[in-house]
Structure 1
């Protein structure tokens, strides 16, 4: 029996090794441009153009970062993004699970029709909603304000659907036991449901942060003022800002400062994903449960 088991184990290991090698190659292919951008941001501007793949550790400099901070209002972009991220993310992570809890654990007239309508909004492209939302913001006097950046889309259909799938897996016996103990309906949600669905909430938090951080179309439409521009809007106008502050700025200077700004913008998301990778994967698995 032992003699026949060894070849079987080796046969199972070969596909596993092949898969790991393929995934390693794929990972390197995806990370290579990111690594090049991060390293090139520290190279002299002229060297980025003349020797893009070369690296001289003795020639590394912070000149690109100094010039970028002088020419580009990236600090205000980070601040506006942070404000929108904290407030809009908090609204999403509080209201979406509440709505999902009602759809998952309560029976009321028209529940399926209402939930179906919510899901139908997922089929609408963002570009279709921009003009109506912009007109609404103009009527409210919210153009170039935090309200316009935060409130539209703060509770989206995907977040409600995601959390409904997660909450549907919570046993009804837990909720009934809490009601017998005299716990109120919101108390049941806060003290019983929320601790159980933490993996799903963590996954939703990561996706929400990434979506808000990378959002460009809506902020560039509703926040045309440079004072209210978010980070992605600032990054989109980098070349204009650099050439506007430096008369006769050459291509190498613009490229170096672009790489410096892009590297700074990339670091927060990399740190977020590395720190919350385990929670993100667990959240994805939690959100895949059928309701």
Structure 2
């Protein structure tokens, strides 16, 4: 091994080591608050206030979780979120790739204008659309219904843009070969496009689930009744519910049950990311191709 080879290894090793240290520090900084919240949810309520950074396994308790399930309708929040997630996610995952297929592989009058208009909607703040959408829901009689939670925003402009970028990378020769074999356009989409864009669909699916699961602004406006409240709306009103259902509940009790509820809400997304981590990364890379 020559001196040049040794120097090359040293110069390439230093940036890698530095990058690893930086990523490790960043990971610890991001996960530390989450770990603290989960561990604190198993502490007695008084200990959370008296010794917020300490944790004694001998004092481990499930009292915060028991009290939270008694005081807060978190079960109905999970149910409503699940219904919205399945229905809205299905609409997004079906309609967005179809629209992207048209934009990526067909030429028609006004195509660029329509696609540009779709992209312009990404620049509109959500707060600007709330009042018009709410008035529309009122006219349709959909306030405090699943329709109001599911239909608005179900075909997302970002999803269309992402899928267009992915589908544009599929060779046109595959589509022409399918047409020669007698496939119709929808059959081409199902048999040629969908198998070719599975990584992109997986990435879009993970992002769609996360966006719907974490959505708060629209559900809190469209579903003001506790019966239709999604999980994020339930979490936002935890303190009021706890104090309303338990007379004399102090700050420590409210904090403990808040941490317990937050820990429960974290579980589905954590499982989702662990199971679909590989597909999510592949989907991100698939969506970065130039169309």
TM over 0.5: yes
Deviations 1:50-92 (A, max 9, x none): 1111111111010000000000000000000000000100000
Alpha-carbon distance between aligned partners in 2 of 1:87 and 1:169, rounded to the nearest angstrom: 29
Paired position in structure 1 for 2:244: 244
- The list of structure 1 runs, each at least 4 consecutive aligned residues, that deviate by more than 4 angstroms after superposition, is none
Paired position in structure 1 for 2:24: 24
Q: Give 1:11 deviation, angstroms.
A: 1.8
- Point out where structure 1 has 5 or more consecutive residues left out of the alignment: none
Q: Give 1:281 deviation, angstroms.
A: 1.0
Q: Give 1:93 deviation, angstroms.
A: 0.3
Alpha-carbon distance between aligned partners in 2 of 1:225 and 1:187, rounded to the nearest angstrom: 43
Paired position in structure 2 for 1:267: 267
Alpha-carbon distance between aligned partners in 2 of 1:212 and 1:229, rounded to the nearest angstrom: 13
Q: Give the TM-score of the pair, scaled to structure 1.
A: 0.99
Paired position in structure 1 for 2:139: 139
Paired position in structure 1 for 2:174: 174
Paired position in structure 1 for 2:113: 113
- Point out where structure 2 has 5 or more consecutive residues left out of the alignment: none
Q: Give 1:139 deviation, angstroms.
A: 0.6
Q: Describe the SS at the equivalent of 2:155.
A: coil
Paired position in structure 1 for 2:57: 57
Q: How many residues align?
A: 291
Deviations 1:83-106 (A, max 9, x none): 000010000000000000000000
Q: Describe the SS at the equivalent of 2:228.
A: coil
Deviations 1:173-209 (A, max 9, x none): 0000000000111000001000000000011111100
Alpha-carbon distance between aligned partners in 2 of 1:4 and 1:200, rounded to the nearest angstrom: 42
Deviations 1:191-228 (A, max 9, x none): 10000000000111111001000000100001001000
RMSD: 0.7
1:153 maps to 2:138:
no
Paired position in structure 2 for 1:129: 129
Alpha-carbon distance between aligned partners in 1 of 2:129 and 2:117, rounded to the nearest angstrom: 16
Counting only pairs closer than 5 Å after superposition, residues 29-44 of structure 1 correspond to structure 2 as 29-44=29-44
Q: Give 1:7 deviation, angstroms.
A: 2.2
Counting only pairs closer than 5 Å after superposition, residues 65-104 of structure 1 correspond to structure 2 as 65-104=65-104
Deviations 1:29-54 (A, max 9, x none): 11000000000000100011111111
1:228 maps to 2:228:
yes
Counting only pairs closer than 5 Å after superposition, residues 198-237 of structure 1 correspond to structure 2 as 198-237=198-237
Alpha-carbon distance between aligned partners in 2 of 1:14 and 1:288, rounded to the nearest angstrom: 29
Q: Give 1:146 deviation, angstroms.
A: 0.3
